[in-house]
Structure 1
């Protein structure tokens, strides 16, 4: 979400990251299941890391010009985003990191407003 003098704007950046990349090949329950049909774990990890890099790059591109950045969400991605912001010399703009459950757009808006009211 961006907040400017003109108002608020929520932009959803969809991740193409699969938490557990699917393995190709037949299921052992359905018949043939040869090892060459199953990608190696390091191959799956490279795919996962590549997808994450694309996602974080898109997020950082969107918030690059922000004066301050509040990061919140349910998982570990918050810390990874902060780390990547620091790598891009944007870490000083992070004003907070909070763990919260999944939120609606209305809840996100209210949380951001509340945070910046508390800063004043």
Structure 2
């Protein structure tokens, strides 16, 4: 992750884009890219979406959108000083406390705090 963060940071720096990379702008760009990813999957059946990467036309497009989402998320975390791996680990630990195996197994129901 540090290498990717540095690559994305240097990509922005080389193009003098740092001034545009405010948290608000990056979050909005991230949301836009997530929307583009959703658009690729929107009308697929559950079975088609599960097999999308084996589709020679759709697979590369989905992969590219996931790449865009990742880049904007990495850049946003970098600008805000958030360690993505640590944040995800913390969130997973919190979710593990809230959604115990006994309480959540086989259920998609939300558990309120």
What TM-score range do you get, normalising by the shorter chain? 0.3 to 0.5
The structure number with the bigger radius of gyration is: 1
- Structure number with the higher strand fraction is 1
- Which is richer in helix? 2
